[in-house]
Chains A and B, each alone.
Chain A
């Protein structure tokens, strides 16, 4: 392998005109040279750009989830389960882009001691997985309920009389501060739960992958994932709801109404008849919680969910109504998926050479199948359901700041960090209580203008793949599964660079789903654009989520900017037998609608034909 060299973190450039950008982010996220020991540590580590989660620079508010997982993943590795050779994952930011590095346990003597504790603790989770998982679901749903019920109060001109008659003893100023604290706290708590099972799920999966790769050096990662992948994973559920509603509209004879106009017009039309109202009731039932599915990854505030814009599920459902009217089958090929999963597992098992290997295979396949549904399902609870409600609660806070002229628009709130918002709310409530003028309107609009311009410059800058020194081994299961940081992927980075530098007719990404296809590109930047897809086109999207599911009924292949072998597009394409190339970084900007391309899903390559 060609030696890979990356810039030192301390030599990373500052973009002219963005000087002072550091104030938008937590101070401990900055590379620094003022302390020799910290400087040496930063230079010696391998910091890779987390493009998988962050295709664009961080908004000062949105970094909350990065901080949340920084804490949560690391604590589960290093303080709760005690992963033998791996501590946590450290984070930095440069020009708005997040860089992360897994920390190995440096004192080798600690590893066996850690292993002993890990066996006991992780063993407890593996053994009691289903029971603990049920418990998790309960915790998570009650947490989401708490979030949904959380009121962000609007400051009144004068408190109501009940404050006095009930002897409440607090003002709305206090409840607002308190609600904001609660809101942030729920967010952090949700992310505490997020990792309760995830590392363990990945660790089992990593072992199984490693075993299969040793037994079958040529086995594609996609096939291993297929062997352990769940069938009733909730990633498909929002889409299943749409199919159900499409079928119901035809059964009830109200599909004509469903096909016309905006969502609001459809609902109005449905109100007019008994059957229409029946359909409407079913629609509303599907909304909770399935339409909280985000149109993006859920990591950014601008990833809106179906419930935010009901035109999205309604127009997506129309694809199914059209298919049903044309007499087509829209059901998931579940039986086929199960049969294929078993065929693969049996096929590979039969080719193993020893009884010992077959025993290990059975044991690890079983464990992986137990733990893997969590890996696929947690996304809906956290990134979709919880986040979608959370972003809207923050928008309510933004509305208060807008009303008090701290910011010009609700959507400006994302340019403030969560700590700054808290401070600004203090400014709001104290000036409200006092009857004086807040200072915020003099400070924030100007600052936010500057931040917007700075972030625009960040966007136009290309972050290096990595900084610092390449390590010899990686033991942190996440780093392996999610970012696929291995010798192969790193040489892929080098290849990617060589390709972008020279041959413009080729784009390289991660192999998401095997197969090859040739066809016409359709770039869809948002899920709203999937209605423009024509039968047999190749979807090119920033990322896909369950809300994009209807698109997969029409396309021949999928390409995304963001995602690994576990991303939505890869999972769905494997199920439908479509090729997918994911995590290309730049396909939506490099490919244009109407171009003819060839996609090789097994290699992760795209060739532009014309």
Chain B
């Protein structure tokens, strides 16, 4: 049995493999190809998920359970969700599959010179991250997972997240076949992030493609992704690479790891750090530069999750934790701003006739 069927290092993932490793892992592999710093890790493939369902006799059982449920049946959806998730989380991972995953985890641990390496276990759905079917954040993410047993446990939880009531009704509404949507899991080295957040390779508020917009808060990016905090915002001009706008917000909470329990905790930000800038100027520029490279690699506007790790006291190491195509502005039809005309004066005349609005 070829190990690559079940477990695939990020380095070997790319966009042609979405159906096997999901959008997230495929995109991390792509980033690595473009020399973008991505924390190391591996994908547990959709094949592994299928094998697991098969081994536990769930393949047909799950589909049958969902049969006949439509979008109006909220209660029924919830009941089915609880049942199905119970089956998956209570299922057994076969010995050989467990070995593949455990070996890859131990290898990662050795590679990063960290015993019982803390990892993030996230779902990487095959339908997620597609420009017109973005339901990012609908599947679970587990941070700071240590040891083989916990990795396996969280993997099952990720698999089962394919059957949250929201995910189920989303598929029904969109007309996706439940049996066609598979899930992969990303196991990735935890970045002990000092600051983290999201960034866009265009200004999501105006659609300006010359601007990179960076949202940032202390600690893990979850506080920004979930919208629990108003992050700092930085605008960088892609051409001049200058910070053109800085909004420092009152950042009330952040996520970090409790050193005692290894658990991720939501904490209040110390009063003196609440209104201080969460990124250094050099980090802002470094992130914008990374964003530009990612956009260039994909050839389209991107939406990126990032983190900085303080390996040195004065310099943050930038990591990209995931990236996907931007969906709002990219969906707009490309239309010329003005119809080209034969002469400058024709353009000017047309422009003059419109005038400039004084009050919006």
Contacts and interface: CB of A to CB of B under 8 A. Distances in A.
Interface of A: 1, 83-86, 104, 111, 115, 118-119, 122-123, 126, 203-204, 206-207, 210-211, 214-220, 223, 343-344, 347-348, 351, 353-354, 356-357, 359-360, 363-364, 366-367, 470-475, 477, 480, 485-487, 490, 514-515, 602
Contacts of B208: 216-219
A472 B338 contact: no
Contacts of A348: 210, 239
A454 B60 CA distance: 96
Contact of B239 (A343, A357, A364): A343
22 contacts: A115-B349, A115-B352, A115-B353, A118-B349, A119-B349, A122-B348, A123-B345, A126-B344, A204-B348, A207-B348, A207-B352, A214-B337, A215-B337, A218-B210, A218-B237, A347-B238, A351-B210, A354-B335, A357-B337, A474-B355, A485-B358, A514-B244
Interface string B236-280: 011110101100000000000000000000000000000000000
Sorted nearest first, the 3 A-B pairs with minimum C-beta distance are A347-B239, A356-B336, A475-B355
A356 B209 contact: no
B347 interface: yes
Centre residue among A126, A214, A218, A359 by max chain B CB count within 10 A: A218
Contacts of A514: 242, 244
B90 interface: no
B27 interface: no
A364 B347 contact: yes
Contact of B352 (A83, A343, A357, A363): A83
B206 A217 contact: yes
Interface of B: 203, 206-211, 235, 237-240, 242, 244-245, 334-341, 343-349, 351-360
A357 B206 CA distance: 18
Contacts of B338: 211, 214, 356, 360
Contacts of A206: 351-352, 356
Contacts of A363: 340, 344, 347
A515 B344 CA distance: 33
A514 B242 CA distance: 9
B352 A223 contact: no
Contacts of B336: 354, 356-357, 360
Interface of B is mostly: loop
Contacts of A217: 203, 206-208
Contact of A123 (B239, B334, B340, B343): B343
B210 A364 contact: no
A119 to B, nearest CB: 5
B334 A353 contact: yes
Contacts of B360: 1, 487
Given A353-B334, A360-B336, A474 B356 contact: yes
A356 B338 CA distance: 8
Nearest to A350: B239
Contact of A216 (B209, B240, B340, B354): B209
B358 A490 contact: yes
B235 A218 contact: yes
B334 A354 contact: yes
A374 to B, nearest CB: 15
A477 B352 CA distance: 8
B347 A473 contact: no
Contacts of A218: 203, 206, 208, 210-211, 235, 237, 244
B356 A473 contact: yes
Contacts of B334: 353-354
Contact of B210 (A347, A354, A360, A470): A347
B296 to A, nearest CB: 11
A353 B210 CA distance: 12
A518 B297 CA distance: 39
B351 A207 contact: yes
Contacts of A364: 344, 347
B211 A85 contact: no
A477 B338 CA distance: 19
Contact of B358 (A111, A366, A470, A515): A470
Nearest to A489: B358
| Among B203, B244, B345, B354, residue most surrounded by chain A Cβ atoms (within 10 Å) | B345
A59 B50 CA distance: 89
Nearest to B207: A217
Nearest to B357: A473
A86 B353 CA distance: 9
B358 A471 contact: yes
Given A210-B356, A360-B340, A203 B348 contact: yes
B347 A111 contact: no
A545 to B, nearest CB: 28
Nearest to A3: B359
Given A122-B345, A351-B238, 18 more contacts: A86-B352, A104-B355, A118-B349, A118-B352, A218-B211, A218-B235, A347-B239, A354-B336, A357-B337, A363-B340, A363-B347, A471-B358, A472-B358, A473-B355, A487-B357, A487-B358, A487-B360, A490-B358
Contact of B240 (A210, A223, A487): A223
A85 B209 contact: no
A1 B237 CA distance: 26
A375 to B, nearest CB: 14
Given A217-B206, A219-B208, A354-B334, A472 B357 contact: yes
A490 B203 CA distance: 25
A96 B177 CA distance: 78
Contacts of B339: 356
Q: Which of A84, A104, A366, A515 has the most CB of B within 10 A?
A: A84
Nearest to B245: A602
A472 B359 contact: yes
Contacts of A207: 347-348, 351-352
Contacts of A214: 337-338
Contact of A84 (B237, B352, B357, B359): B352
A214 B354 CA distance: 14
A104 B352 CA distance: 11
A210 B352 CA distance: 10
Contacts of A204: 344, 348
Contacts of B210: 216, 218-219, 347-348, 351
B359 A470 contact: yes
B105 to A, nearest CB: 43
A69 to B, nearest CB: 20
B149 to A, nearest CB: 50
A144 to B, nearest CB: 31
Contacts of B349: 84, 115, 118-119, 122
Contact of B356 (A359, A367, A475): A475
Contact of B353 (A84, A353, A357, A474): A84
Contacts of A115: 349, 352-353
A85 to B, nearest CB: 6
Contacts of B211: 216, 218
A86 B348 CA distance: 13
Of the candidates B203, B340, B346, the one having the most CB atoms from chain A within 10 angstroms of its own CB is B340
B27 to A, nearest CB: 23
A376 B266 CA distance: 57
A123 B238 CA distance: 36
Contact of A1 (B244, B353, B355, B359): B359
B356 to A, nearest CB: 5
Contacts of B244: 218, 220, 514, 602
Contacts of B240: 223, 344, 347
Contacts of A366: 344
B344 A475 contact: no
A211 B344 CA distance: 13
A459 B359 CA distance: 31
A363 B356 CA distance: 21
B245 to A, nearest CB: 8
